[in-house]
Amino acid sequence: MALADTAGCAKPNEDFPFPEIIELNVGGQVYITRHPTLVSVPGSLLWEMFTQKNVRSLARDSKGRFFVDRDGFLFRYILDYMRDQQLVLPDHFPERSRLQREAEYFMLPELVKMLAPKLSKQNSLGDDPCQSDPEELSPSADAARSLTSASTALPSAVAGGPGGTAVTTGAGTAGPDVRRAGFITIGYRGSYTLGRDSQTDAKFRRVARIMVCGKTSLAKEVFGDTLNESRDPDRPPERYTSRYYLKFTFLEQAFDKLADAGFHMVACNSTGTCAFAHDQTDDRIWTSYTEYVFYRE
């Protein structure tokens, strides 16, 4: 019994080995697009893959879809660019540097230029508000920040008497009652099992861990003793972390703490994958990763 070709709707032939509609499995995420879209940028990696004559040399998954071992979430922006050669990103996009790396892998030089950070006249990153951890900062810049923090701490300590107001953040630096602006991202993984009848109740698993990403000083200010720093100890207050997690597992509790600290949600996203729980049943296990981005002015 011959297996049906699940990689597309049109049947390929010797002169045109690829179907008109192509299914891709990119890092576990399934995308369906047209063949002309994948070859719209000559010289790109996708153009090289889908213009060759030997289709058998391309990797496929168990269902016959063409497989690409890259970030499945970020590929949506690669594919969107392939459609009309334009870049449209959501506000406060936190994955710009990683998307640039994906553009380099898929050999899209124009997209790489669009994603490259631009230096402003003050020699700072002006057009890229979502940079990664600035580990490359010079020691002199760190020292200057330390001196500034010390200078603001002294007047605040004096003003913290009976007639004054002083606020001590979780990072241990005192200052006037002015909250610093910044982003904090909350992320968690979840899964649930759904049977054949979609009307039946799903069996949810509890949230195992709530991850915290952002500037160390902000994370400590908001979450205090409930912040578990064991995976990223001794992190400087002005550096960024993506390894902290909370000692509790209630999302509402995390949201309440962020709201009390003056943060509000500006974006959220979720990705999910599905797999069969058992070969003998139609029960499916859905696994998802969800992120909530909070911002304080």
Q: Which of 166-180, 213-227, 250-264 has the lowest mean pLDDT?
A: 166-180
Final residue before a domain boundary, out of 115, 149, 166: 115
The answer to whether residue 256 sits within a structural domain is: yes
Report percent pLDDT > 70 for the chain. 65
Q: What is the mean pLDDT of residues 229-242?
A: 85
How deeply is 153 buried, as exposed, middle or buried, from its count of CB atoms within 10 A (0-12, 13-18, 19+)? middle
At 188-211, the pLDDT tens digits run 887 766 665 555 555 666 677 899
Q: DSSP of 155-190, one letter per residue?
A: HHHHHTSTT---EE-TTS-EE-S-PPPEEEEEEEEE
Q: Which CATH number characterizes residue 106's domain?
A: 3.30.710.10
What pLDDT score does 180 carry? 86
Question: Residue 286 corresponds to which tokens in the numbers above?
Answer: 């859905």
The answer to whether residue 9 sits within a structural domain is: no
**pTM over 0.75, yes/no:** no
What pLDDT score does 112 carry? 94
What pLDDT score does 58 carry? 92
At 66-107, the pLDDT tens digits run 999 999 999 999 999 999 999 888 888 888 999 999 999 999
For residue 257, is pLDDT > 50?
Answer: yes
Q: How many residues make up the chain in this entry?
A: 297
Regarding whether 190 and 279 lie in a shared domain, the answer is yes
Residue 49's contacts (CB-CB under 8 Å, 6 or more residues apart) are 38, 58, 66
Regarding whether 191 and 108 lie in a shared domain, the answer is no
* Number of domains the chain contains: 2
The answer to whether residue 32 sits within a structural domain is: yes
What pLDDT score does 209 carry? 86
The answer to whether residue 111 sits within a structural domain is: yes
Contact 221, 261 (CB under 8 A): yes
The answer to whether residue 140 sits within a structural domain is: no
At 128-184, the pLDDT tens digits run 444 444 444 444 445 445 545 555 544 444 444 444 444 444 444 444 456 789 999
Regarding whether 290 and 188 lie in a shared domain, the answer is yes
Final residue before a domain boundary, out of 92, 115, 138: 115
The answer to whether residue 157 sits within a structural domain is: no
182-194 and 284-296 beta bridge pairing: antiparallel
Q: What is the spatial distance between Cα 16 and Cα 21, in angstroms, rounded to a whole number?
A: 13
The answer to whether residue 130 sits within a structural domain is: no
Report percent pLDDT > 90 for the chain. 42
The answer to whether residue 101 sits within a structural domain is: yes
What pLDDT score does 117 carry? 79
Range(s) of the domain holding residue 38: 21-115
